[in-house]
Structure 1
Amino acid sequence: MSTGSRLRRTLLAGLVAAAVVLPVSAAASPRIPAPAPEAVSDAAPLESRYAAALAGIAGAARTAEDSGHAGRAAKLRAMAGPGARFFGFDGRGQGRAVEVFGDLGTADRIAVLVPGSDTNLDTYQRFREGARSLQQRLRAGHPRTAVVAWLGYDTPGTVSTTVLTADRADRAAAELGPFLAGLRRFTPADARISLLCHSYGSVVCGRTRTGPEVTDMALYGSPGTGAATARDLPTGARVWAGRGSGDWIGRVPHVRLGGVGFGTDPVDPAFGARTFAAGSAGHSDYLKPGTESLDSLARIVLGPEAPRA
Structure 2
Amino acid sequence: MHGRLRMGLVAALIAGALVGPGAGVAEAAAPVPPTLPAMSAATLDARYDANQRAIAEAAGMARDNGHEGRADKLARMADPARKFLSFDGRARRVRAVEVVGDLAGADRIAVLVPGTGSDLDHFDTRGDKPYSTPGGGARALYAEIRAQDPTARVAVIAWLGYSPPATIGVDVLTSGRAETGARELRRFIAELYAVAPAAQVSLLCHSYGSTVCGRAVSEIDVADLAVFGSPGLGVDDADDLGTGARVWAGRGGSDWIDWVPNVRIPFFGTTIGFGADPSEDGFGARDFAVGGGGHSDYLRPGGPSLHNLALIARGRATEVTHG
TM-score, normalization by structure 1: 0.88
Whichever residue aligns with residue 29 of structure 2, its letter is P
Give the aligned partner of residue 104 of structure 1: 103
Quote the offset at 1:97 in angstroms.
0.2
Q: Could you tell me which of 37, 46, 53 is aligned with 2:33?
A: 37
Q: Gaps spanning 5+ residues in structure 2: where? A: 16-22, 125-132, 319-323
Quote the offset at 1:13 in angstroms.
6.1
Q: Could you tell me which of 8, 12, 15 is aligned with 2:9?
A: 15
Give, in whole Å, the separation in 2 of the partners of 1:36 and 1:304. Answer: 41
Give, in whole Å, the separation in 1 of the partners of 2:242 and 2:114. Answer: 19
Whichever residue aligns with residue 69 of structure 2, its letter is G
Quote the offset at 1:18 in angstroms.
4.9
> Deviations for 1:79-114, whole angstroms, at most 9, x for unmatched residues?
122411101100111521000000001111211000
> Deviations for 1:33-54, whole angstroms, at most 9, x for unmatched residues?
2111011121561001101111
Give the aligned partner of residue 212 of structure 2: 204
Give the aligned partner of residue 171 of structure 1: 180
In terms of mean alpha carbon deviation, does 211-220 or 193-202 score higher?
Answer: 211-220
Give, in whole Å, the separation in 2 of the partners of 1:114 and 1:28. Answer: 25
Quote the offset at 1:16 in angstroms.
3.0
In terms of mean alpha carbon deviation, does 232-241 or 109-118 score higher?
Answer: 232-241
Quote the offset at 1:11 in angstroms.
9.1
Alignment map for 1:65-214 (pairs within 5 Å): 65-94=63-92, 95-125=94-124, 126-142=133-149, 143-187=152-196, 189-210=197-218, 213-214=221-222
RMSD: 2.3
How many aligned residue pairs are there?
291
Give the aligned partner of residue 276 of structure 2: 264
Q: Could you tell me which of 255, 258, 267 is aligned with 1:250?
A: 258
- Conserved? CA contact 1:20–1:249, under 8 Å: no
Give, in whole Å, the separation in 1 of the partners of 2:7 and 2:113. Answer: 25
- Conserved? CA contact 1:207–1:234, under 8 Å: no
Whichever residue aligns with residue 15 of structure 1, its letter is L
Q: Gaps spanning 5+ residues in structure 1: where? A: 1-9, 22-26
Give SS of 1:169's match: helix
Amino-acid identity (%):
52
Whichever residue aligns with residue 64 of structure 1, its letter is A
- Conserved? CA contact 2:13–2:168, under 8 Å: no
TM-score, normalization by structure 2: 0.84
Give the aligned partner of residue 235 of structure 2: 227
Give, in whole Å, the separation in 2 of the partners of 1:178 and 1:296. Answer: 27
Give SS of 1:207's match: helix
Quote the offset at 1:124 in angstroms.
0.9
